[in-house]
Amino acid sequence: MADYYDVLGIGRDATPNEIKSAFRKLAHEHHPDVAGDREDSEELFMRILEAYEVLGDPGKRRAYDLSSASGDRSGLHDFNIEDFTRLEELEDIVAGGLLETLFGRRGRGGPVKGRDIRFDIELELEDAFRGAARKVMAPRAEKCPDCAGTGAASGSTSKPCPVCNGLGQVKSLRARGTVKFIQIDPCERCQGRGKVIEGACPYCRGRGTGRKLSPVSVYIPAGVTDGAVLRLPDEGAEGFRGGPRGDLYLVVRVRPHPHFSRDGADLSCSREISFPLAALGGRVRIRTIDGNAELEIPAGTQSHTVFRLAGLGMPGYGESGRGDLLVTVIVRVPREPDGRTRELLGALDGAGEPAAAGKHRWWGH
């Protein structure tokens, strides 16, 4: 058997805090929900629990150190999952479903929270700018209206499940090498309810629930970003055995805009301007997300110059203020200039310098 200090990757002089820190890191990394189907994941996870059960307890650690010094490293060779006494130190790093599977701490016929539901909602960029109230039709399980969720037909009775004795769960012991696991699964006979019905409800066929679309009102805040997740507590699926509803998670999808692109709270767009306006300077009207603004074009502006209009972007999501509008000006050069245009451009080119600032003002169109 591997030395417990080696299992946790610590020295024999490790402090209690170092032992705990090493355990938490390894438990989070190697528990089966994360390790997946790796062949040795459960056995390695059990070794980590076993090592911490001993080294995390001062008395057990002293006994283990003494036995190791005498050459006996057998440790707790018959360690069983039920011997682990530090469940509270697992609850915030290991998924509750795994705790239930390994330790059977939940689900003994008591209330069960309903399933969480994920639902996508699409918005235009203007809606994301202003904020929007929406009513979404969320798919979720509801109590059967005929049997009020009992699953029993009118006048029918229920009795404790003969397979699980009313617990709603069945346990089975399995082993991998010297490691023993207690597997806890919902009872197939009663589907985890703990009761069987003599005469099922014809409407829901004994399930007690039915799936339907239910309207849910939600306000989407201004500045919401694409991919943002909004949580609506207690708007998910119906709970079981008197348990609360699950939660509804709305994933916001902001549609691409034909004029603006977005980077956080900043917006970007492009604006064509004429060659004379770029050369001589002037003002041009710019479309913004909530109106229009004027942009001053300096004389001699080159194509693809980017101008920043402060505070004309999107509201900050969860923050005050607004982002900026970045405008890329694209100089429109005549493709086939006529004779007069050629004469003017030739004169300008031969002048060697642009016209004096303020002599001519051009308005973009």
pLDDT tens for 270-322 read: 999 998 899 889 999 999 999 999 999 999 999 999 999 999 999 998 888 99
Report pTM.
Answer: 0.51
Q: What is the residue extent of each domain of the chain?
A: 4-102, 115-140+208-255, 145-207, 261-363
Q: How far is CA 190 from the centre of its chain?
A: 33
Class (C level, CATH) for 115-140+208-255:
mainly beta
270's CB contacts (< 8 A; 6+ apart) are: 327, 328, 329, 330
User: In the chain, where does DSSP find H-type helix?
Assistant: 4-8, 16-30, 32-35, 41-55, 58-69, 96-103, 125-130, 275-280, 339-351
Residue 98 pLDDT: 47
**What distance in Å separates the CA atoms of residue 297 and residue 132, rounded to the nearest whole number?**
36
Residue 125 pLDDT: 96
What the block records as the tokens of 275 is 């060659």
Contact assessment for residue 3 and residue 40, using Cβ atoms and an 8 Å cutoff: no
Q: Which residues in the chain show pLDDT less than 70?
A: 1, 31-42, 70-112, 139-142, 149-150, 155, 172-186, 191, 203, 205-211, 240-242, 344-345, 348-365
Give the CATH H-level superfamily of domain 4-102: DnaJ domain (1.10.287.110)
**What distance in Å separates the CA atoms of residue 278 and residue 280, rounded to the nearest whole number?**
6
Residue 335 pLDDT: 75
User: Is the fold of 4-102 the same as that of 145-207?
Assistant: no
Residue 360 pLDDT: 40
CATH topology of domain 261-363: HSP40/DNAj peptide-binding domain (2.60.260)
Contact assessment for residue 309 and residue 325, using Cβ atoms and an 8 Å cutoff: yes
**What distance in Å separates the CA atoms of residue 103 and residue 174, rounded to the nearest whole number?**
14
Contact assessment for residue 162 and residue 227, using Cβ atoms and an 8 Å cutoff: no
HSE, side-chain direction, 13 A CA sphere, residue 255: 9
Residue 107 pLDDT: 40
Residue 106 pLDDT: 41
Residue 27 pLDDT: 79
Residue 259 pLDDT: 97
Residue 353 pLDDT: 46
Burial of 36 (0-12, 13-18, 19+ CB in 10 A): exposed
Residue 97 pLDDT: 44
Residue 306 pLDDT: 97
What the block records as the tokens of 196 is 């069987």
For 9-18, the pLDDT digits (tens) are 999 999 988 9
**What distance in Å separates the CA atoms of residue 274 and residue 331, rounded to the nearest whole number?**
6
CATH number for the region 145-207 comes to 2.10.230.10
Residue 338 pLDDT: 76
Contact assessment for residue 54 and residue 61, using Cβ atoms and an 8 Å cutoff: yes
